[in-house]
Structure formats: structure tokens, C-alpha cells
Structure 1
Amino acid sequence: MAELPQEHPLVLGRTGAIARLRLDRPALHNAFDAGLISALTATLEQLAADADVRVVVLEGSGASFSAGADLNWMRGMAAASEAENRQDALALARLMRTLDELPKPTIARVHGAAFGGGVGLVACCDIAIGVPAAKFGLTESKLGLLPAVISPYVIAAIGAREARRWFATAEIFDAATALRIGLLHEVVEAEALDAAIERQIALLLKAGPLAAAGAKRLVARVAATADRDSIDGDNADLIAGLRISPEGQEGLSAFLDKRAPGWAKD
């Protein structure tokens, strides 16, 4: 995998099958602008195509995870045309969908504040772990705006009832609330954050690579399908195919032989 150039708004690190993608605009609290959106989308697409990557960890530099939109970027977009704003919004939508549908398990390491689009990133990740001091906010309504582009992912994470409150009030909420409403899966003390991330990585590496990657597709398909007969048929097709696949055969054989499957890591 090619290294990212200097002066890039991201840092990409690799340790074996683990890719760590860090937002790297600490002076601006890792705020979004067109450059960061483009770079993050392109890097995620690169990771999606890398067969050696099995888990992606998304994190931030400095004090914050991501403070949402860069003020200078917002100032420029306020002066742009409606058509230009639409294209800009579509670029953000592409980023969120790329992360949400990434064919690798993803973990958000939320060590600090996440606002606006930063909340969108957290919601798009499969697993989200934060610290007690982390703060969250969908603050767009204070500006006369709404978190429209990220709304499908945030609503999927926290539910429609909670979203109606937080979208309207723009209220800042803490990590305990984020855990209660489903935005975070776990809250740990800052000194235990890396260990918590490593525990999730270890679990993912013991799962079948195709199974771990396919879990989000299964959830998305079932959640979006109201036809129970169709769900039953599709799921029967899925499990039948998995059982006779090389990965499924290895997993079942390893279980019956009481040994670790070939993909598992110590």
C-alpha cells in the first residue's frame, strides 16, 4: 500500500492486517473541509480494495476526534451557489456511504469531541468505543441547518425518536448518553482505550474474514427488507453458500477438530 504524502490531512499506518487511519488536522480539531473529505474517501476506497487489510481503526489527532465542519470551508460554501453546495454535499455523502459500506470491519476510537460530521463517522463505523470525557453534538440547527447528509447513518445508530431530539435541539451530550442511545458501544477510561480497541481487533481477527466483512451487509439487507419470505429465502441462500465455501468448510472443520481455524491469530 502506498504511503500518504506529507502535508496530507490523514495518517495511514499498517500493522499486519490492521490499518489505522487517523484524521490529522489537530490545530483545527480534525474539522472537515473538501480536502479532508476527498482524502478520506480515496483512502477508504484504497483500503477496501486491499485484500490484506482485515480491520480498519478510525481515530483523530490532538484533542478531538472531529469537530465537524471547518469554519473557513463553511464560509466559502455559504458564498457558493446552490449547485456548488449540492455537489459538496454529495461528496460528503459519498464519504459516509464508503465508510458505512466498507467491506472490512471498522472501529471508531473516540478519544475526544465529535460534532456534526464527526458524529456521522462514528455512526458509520461498525464498532465505536469512547472515553468518558468525549462530547457529542449534532449542532447544525444552531446555524439554521440540519445534519441531512449524515442522517441515515445517525438514525440507524440511535433510532428515530432520539434523532428527533438531538437534531432539533443541537444539544451537546456526553459519552454516557452516547452509550445509552447507541452511538457508542462501550465507554472506557482514557488509559484503557487502546486495550479496549485491541480486544475488539483480536475478536475480529478470530472471526472468518469473509464472515466478519459480510456481517454489516447481512444486517443492512435484513433491516431494509419487510418481506419475511424474501428474507428467509435470501438468508437460506446465504448460509448454504457460506457452509460450502472454503472459509465455511475450514471453520466447521476446525470446530469439529477442536483446533483454531487457519485465519485465527494468537
Structure 2
Amino acid sequence: MSDPEPPVRILRRGRLMVVTLSRPAQHNAIDHTMLSALGAALDEAEADPALRSVVLEGNAEVFCSGLDLEAALAGGAMGQPAAEAGARRYLALLRRFTRSPKIIACRVAGRCEAGGIGFVAAADFAVAEPGASFRLSEALIGLLPATLMPFLIRRTGFRTAYRMTLAAPWLGPQEALAAGLVDAAGPGAAEALRHLLLGCERVPERTVAAAKAYFDGLAPITREIEDYAVGRIGSLLADPDAAARIHDLMAQGVWQGAGRGGLR
């Protein structure tokens, strides 16, 4: 029996590591194997002084569709301790993006929803190619984007993050740029990212780390905020009513994988 496909693929290009999310059958949904693989990729990058940047990408159809709810809720509502443990692992990865001495960037070419937006929000830079689209869809199924929200507020500001949560609009590349979610958009996005990364290579790695620590101190995400976020999503995922609604939506084929015409 062959080994399962890894949840990420890693390619080295000189001083750059490209990490491609690779769970296409699950629409690049986040599970514990993906979190572990992304953590291992960062371990590898941070152990190599010759490497300066890590770019996270998906495929042309989907960047990341968020938490793999089908797997997480396969047996019904999660127990709150298990839900909180998973949320804390995800939050720890986002936190690591903001503290890594490497430049972390996201290149989004397809659909980016829910927890996928957390990757974008926590990255140092993000760009949206012409086919990219973004949405916080959690509220539509009775959840909240609680764990990623401290990072999104730092990136876009409170009002934009609040609107994205309650109205759950789809944002195209230019809308994402106007919202401050990404740093470049459209046909020139990949080239803009290349120039950003080249510019950062002129800065010593220790200065990158110092800059991240300094800016983190200006807009801190405290342990109290982290605990509040983890506890909030933990209680929601443990709610049997929320689990039942999610199962109903998945049975109707209007949750993960539905795309822009699906969950409304």
C-alpha cells in the first residue's frame, strides 16, 4: 500500500522556499497533518541561514478552504478540550509566522476562505493573483473566525474585519487590496511579491527578527487575547447545534468545496 500524499510540497529556489498546500481532494482544508507539515517546513527553513523567505501557496482553484470540518466533526460536536487544543495549534502557527526570522509570504491564486485568511493575515506579505477570492464564511454556519481575528485586525483594522465577519462578502483581488488584506493584486502580483522579497534580502536576518518583535510590541496579541480566542471557538465547535448545522450544509454540498456559488 502506497504512503498517502503529503499535505504540503516543498520546493527550494535559491534563497526561497515555496511551500504548496496539497490536499486537493479536501480543497486544501486545514487538519492536524497540515499544521504539522507547515511547522516542519518552518523548522527546515529556520535551520538554514542561506534561506531568507518562505512563500505559501495553493493551486489555481483554491488556496485554502479553512478548517477541515468534515474530519473535525465526523463524530458530531467536538469536546471543548479537543476543539481548544486544535485551535491553539493553529494559533501557534500563525504566531510563529509573525515571529520567524524568515520573511513569510502568501501567494493566493484561487479561493481563500475562513482559516486560510488567517495564513494571509499573519504573513509578512500577501498578494492576490487575478483568480483569487477571499471570504470569512464562519458566521454563515454559526461559528466565528475567532482564532485568526487578532491577526486580521492587525492587518486590516477593526471595521474591515468586523464587516468581513458579519456580512461574509466575497472579496476579489482589488477589493482585498483596498481592504489592506493583501499588498499587491492582479496580473502583476507575483512580480510585486518578487520585488518585495528581493528588497527584504538586503536586510540582515537578525534585523528582520528585531523588526517583527518591535512591531509585535506596538500591537501586541497578548496571552489573554489568545486564550479568549481559543476559548470562544472551542465552545462553538463543541456546540451540538453548530455541529448539526455544519453536517446539514455539507450534506447539501454547500460548504467546503462549493466555491463562490455555494454557501450564501
- TM class by shorter chain equals 0.7 to 0.9
Aligned ranges for residues 208-247 of structure 1 at < 5 Å? 208-224=204-220
Q: Distance in 2 between matches of 1:152 and 1:46?
A: 27
State the AA in 2 paired with 1:198. Answer: R
Counterparts of 2:162 and 2:39 in 1: how far apart (Å)? 28
Distance 2:69 2:85 in 1: 18
TM-score, normalised on structure 1?
0.76
**What corresponds to 1:235 in structure 2?**
none
Q: Alpha carbons of 1:198 and 1:77: their partners in 2 closer, same or farther (altered >3 Å)?
A: farther
CA RMSD of aligned residues (A): 2.1
* Cα distance change of structure 1 residues 16 and 147 upon mapping to structure 2, 3 Å threshold: same
Equivalent residues in 2 for 1:163-182, closer than 5 Å: 163-182=161-180
- Greater radius of gyration (CA): 1
Q: Does the 8 Å contact 2:63/2:110 carry over to 1? A: yes
Contact preservation (8 Å) 1:158, 1:183? yes
Q: How does 1:39-118 map to 2 (within 5 A)?
A: 39-76=37-74, 78-118=76-116
Contact 1:20/1:57 (<8 A) preserved: yes
Name 1:35's counterpart in structure 2. 33
User: Residue 120 of structure 1 contacts residue 150 of structure 1 at CA under 8 Å; is this kept in 2?
Assistant: yes
Q: Distance in 2 between matches of 1:9 and 1:178?
A: 27
SS at match of 1:173: coil
SS of structure 2 residue aligned to 1:65? strand
- The unaligned stretches of length 5 or more in structure 2 are 222-264
Determine what percentage of the aligned residue pairs are the same residue: 32
SS in structure 1 at match of 2:41: helix
Q: Quick check: 32-41 or 135-144, which moved more?
A: 32-41
Q: Relative CO higher for 1 or 2, CA cutoff 8 Å, sep ≥ 6?
A: 2
Q: How far apart, CA to CA, are the structure 1 residues paired with 2:38 and 2:31?
A: 11
Change (3 A) 1:77 1:159: farther
- Equivalence for 1:245: none
| Residues 206-250 of structure 1: CA deviation (Å, up to 9, x unaligned) | 23332234322222123349xxxxxxxxxxxxxxxxxxxxxxxxx
> Contact 1:108 / 1:125 at 8 angstroms: preserved in 2?
yes
Q: Would the aligned equivalents of 2:127 and 2:183 in 1 still touch at CA under 8 Å?
A: yes
Q: Is the 8 A contact 2:99 2:209 kept in 1?
A: no
- Counterpart of 1:54 in structure 2: which amino acid? R
Provide, for residues 90-143 of structure 1, a one-character-per-residue CA deviation record: whole Å limited to 9, x for no partner.
111112112222221112111111101110001111111112331111110011
Tell me which amino acid in the other structure corresponds to 1:194: A
One-letter code of the match for 1:223? A
Deviation at 1:62, TM superposition (A): 4.3
Detail structure 1 runs of 4+ shifted over 4 Å in the superposition: none
- The equivalent residue for 2:194 is 198
Normalising by structure 2, what TM-score? Answer: 0.76
Q: Which residue does the alignment assign to 1:138?
A: 136
Provide the secondary structure at the position in 1 that maps to 2:12.
Answer: strand
Contact 1:10 1:21 in 2 (8 A): yes
SS where residue 62 of structure 2 aligns?
coil
Number of equivalences: 219
Instruction: Compute the displacement of 1:188 (Å).
Output: 2.4
SS in structure 2 of the partner of residue 201 of structure 1: helix
Partner amino acid, structure 2, of 1:141 = A
Contact 2:59 2:110 in 1 (8 A): no
Q: Which moved more, 1:92-101 or 1:211-220?
A: 211-220
Over residues 15-72 of structure 1, what are the superposed CA-to-partner deviations in whole Å (9 max), with x where a residue is unaligned? 2221111111123221111211222123223322332221111111341111112242
- Tell me which residue corresponds to 2:241: none
Letter in 2 for 1:13: L
Q: Which residue among 118, 121, 131 is the counterpart of 2:119?
A: 121
Q: Report the residue type matching 1:106 in the other structure.
A: I
Shift in alpha-carbon separation, 1:54–1:187, aligned structure 2, 3 A: same
| Alpha-carbon distance between aligned partners in 1 of 2:205 and 2:94, rounded to the nearest angstrom | 23
- Residue pair 1:34, 1:73 contacting (<8 A) in 2 also: no
Distance of 1:79 and 1:159 partners within structure 2: 32
